[in-house]
Structure 1
Amino acid sequence: MSTSTTASVSTHILDTSIGRPAEGVAVRLAARTGREADWRPLGGSATDADGRCKDLPALPEGTTHVRLDFAVEAYFEKLTFAKKQAEAQQDAPAHRDSGPAVFFPEVAITFAVVPGEHYHVPLLLNPFGYSVYRGS
């Protein structure tokens, strides 16, 4: 809930490699009250079937910077496992790429906030890249 003395944050994740929301990604939220201040962990959530985190903790009064940490490695490992199972059931040729399921196992996004504003920060994600922006 946003008041005149605090900012608020929301996010969602779209997996651009499959054109769908990314479900089940753990998201942690941290805040600090100045550029030189220590980060204060506030808690976290996980994305729902729509790729949204609807229950992120509120930001404390005086927050000037926010960090969202997305744990994407487990999400992509689960997708890779499901894909391999589906290929095995269809007698498809084995995928010979022996690399990791994801190049970026974690995504950390840090941004500045001002009191009274809402910040929606979507993550567009695929196994080998990502982008973020301030949404509405």
Structure 2
Amino acid sequence: MSGRLTTHVLDTAHGRPAAGMRLQLWRREAGAPALLVAVAETNADGRPDAPLLSGASMTRGTYELVFFVGSYYARVSPGSKAFLDEVPVRFTMDAPEEHYHVPLLVAPGGYSTYRGS
């Protein structure tokens, strides 16, 4: 099985998947501008419909996954005062043949992430 990069966003404030959250994946290299490699939106299950990277597009390096939390909460909780705007998660992939899963547990005032399975 070839490697892939996936994500899953859970809205812990409302106790449900964060459907309709926009996200971007950037590749970062020292001394070079960041390169946008994927744009997606989460579905009703809080996941993009396809892996952000897979197969030959999986390469070693440093990546940044940016979750647009502020605009998500502005849509699902109009009038609320969200503390977070964009949540960047920077990580390194050193084994492109593996599955990298980056879940985000998020609320208007905080978040948690980890390397999932």
Alpha-carbon distance, 1:53 to partner = 1.3
Match of 1:50 in 2: 45
Aligned partner letter, 1:67: E
Match of 1:24 in 2: 20
Alpha-carbon distance, 1:61 to partner = 5.5
Deviations 1:114-136 (CA, angstroms, capped at 9, x unpaired): 22111100000000000101110
Q: Percent identity?
A: 39
- 1:108 and 2:88 aligned: yes
Structure 1 unaligned segments of length 5 or more: list them: 85-99
Sort the Cα spacing of 1:15 and 1:63 in 2 relative to 1 into closer, same or farther, 3 A: same
Sort the Cα spacing of 1:110 and 1:116 in 2 relative to 1 into closer, same or farther, 3 A: same
The RMSD of aligned alpha carbons is 2.1
Sort the Cα spacing of 1:116 and 1:36 in 2 relative to 1 into closer, same or farther, 3 A: farther
Contact 1:73/1:101 (<8 A) preserved: no
TM-score, normalised relative to structure 1: 0.74
Q: Measure the CA separation in 1 of the matches of 2:58 and 2:8.
A: 24
Aligned partner letter, 1:79: V
Of structures 1 and 2, the larger Rg is shown by 1
Alpha-carbon distance, 1:30 to partner = 1.2
Deviating 4+ runs (over 6 angstroms) = none
Alpha-carbon distance, 1:35 to partner = 4.6
Comparing 22-31 with 48-57, which one deviates more in the overlay? 48-57
Contact 1:69/1:107 (<8 A) preserved: yes
Structure 2 unaligned segments of length 5 or more: list them: none
Comparing 123-132 with 57-66, which one deviates more in the overlay? 57-66
